[in-house]
Amino acid sequence: MDFNLTEEQQLIKKMARDYGKEQLEPQASEIDRSGLYPAETIKAMAALDFMGMFFPVEYGGAGADFFSYILMVEELSRSCASTGAILATHCSLAANAIFEWGNQEQKEKYLPDMCTGEKLGGFAMYEPGAAPAEGPDKVTAGFAGGKYVLSGKKYYVVNGGVADVYIVFALTNPDAGMKGLSAFIVDAGTPGLTISRQIEKMGLRALQTSEIVFDNVQVPKENLLGAENQGYEIYMGILANSSVAAAAQVIGIAQSALDASINYAKERVQFGGPIARLQTIQWMLAEMAMNVHLVRVATYRVAALIDEGKPYAREAAMTRMFAAKAGVDVCMNALQIHGGYGYGRDMIVERLLRDVKGAIIFDSSNEYPQKIIAGSLLR
């Protein structure tokens, strides 16, 4: 497969890289320390069409291909992983769910504001202390008076507390487990929906992650996404798409770790010369570069499949599975090269290590890729 970028893709990649270096890198460490949502940054990115990059112009999007979106996520994550995660949540988990499974009325109602950044999307799947559709606080959706009534709690809701629109999964058939899930578009201001707390995290700290309580939240039947009890199918489709965005985040973070390690190895003098001359350091850098390259090739391959309209679920799962290991390996090697300095917060590598793990685990369990891959092999 030829990954020579088109002129438009090169322009988008450069625009994202320049914006990241000028606007995101200077604040990355500070928002990591504070955990505050970078509201003004997100508004600025919306003005550059970042929030609707691969959605059609008719819905307010930029009309670019999915490959361009992946390039953008990679470059933004290279400068600030939290900001890349906010964007990927909005695009891959929320807006794309409406674009892929919403009816025409839902698309016309929600996508224009989401593509232009007027509304931010969030994603609510998991219950406190349990897998989806399980536990004493699982969210159920009864139907009464022409509306669905949602009750229960959601945990690890990404973009929680700052989103204007949530994709929420609730049980419409509790006896069927995951196969009894349905997906809903829920506006943040709906009565009965409250943010009970923000969750402190190890990494991606500016990506707001919350616990949400649904206390008899009434959702119009028009806000059912897809068909009733189709939620599991929608969820798996969302995961396939978001896996590619998660891998792009890993590329950006790992590339940043590699760049920092190369520079440090050239500058750090030990035993009478720069540590870059030591074979051990050279071997570690080579392995890091290999991992970054392989994750990038795999991710670009899946992005190309999406643009070509071909099946990609298995390839997305494989890419996510490999990125999960390769990204951590790269950042661990970066920490090793930096030694004690890397363990301190004066350098970025400790943040990169914390962030790279979060890029993969937020919207699914670690076992998700294995299940998809094994299932495709054993059919």
Predicted pLDDT at 367: 63
Question: What per-residue confidence (pLDDT) applies to 325?
Answer: 94
Residues 6+ apart with CB under 8 A from 232: 178, 179, 181
What residue ranges do the domains of the chain occupy?
Answer: 7-120, 122-229, 232-377
Mapping DSSP to helix (H, G, I), strand (E, B) and coil, where does residue 235 land? helix
Cβ–Cβ under 8 Å, residues 143 and 151: no
Helix (H) or strand (E) run with residue 33 in it: helix 25-34
| Partners of 211 in beta bridges | 197
What is the CATH T-level fold of the domain 232-377, as seen in this structure?
A: Butyryl-CoA Dehydrogenase, subunit A; domain 3 (1.20.140)
Cα–chain center distance at 280: 34
Check residue 270 and give its pLDDT. Answer: 83
By three-state DSSP, how is residue 159 classified?
A: coil
pTM: 0.94
CA dist list (Å): 270 to 277, 291, 345 = 10, 27, 22
Element (H, E) at 215: strand 209-220
Superfamily (CATH H level) for 122-229:
Butyryl-CoA Dehydrogenase, subunit A, domain 2 (2.40.110.10)
- The crossing angle, in degrees rounded to 10, of helices 279-307 and 66-79 is 150
Helices (H), 20-103: 25-34, 39-47, 66-79, 81-88, 96-101
How high is the pLDDT of residue 365? Answer: 56
- From CA 131, how far away is CA 290, in angstroms rounded? 35
Cα 75–Cα 199–Cα 156 angle in degrees, nearest 5: 70
pLDDT at 335: 96
| Low-confidence residues in the chain, pLDDT < 70 | 1-2, 130, 362-367
What one-letter code names the amino acid at 308?
E
**What is the distance between the alpha carbons of residues 106 and 224, in angstroms, rounded to a whole number?**
9
Residue type, 149: V
- The CATH architecture of the domain made up of 7-120 is Orthogonal Bundle (1.10)
Element (H, E) at 143: strand 140-144
Q: Which of 356, 360, 165, 162 is nearest to 245 (CA)?
A: 360
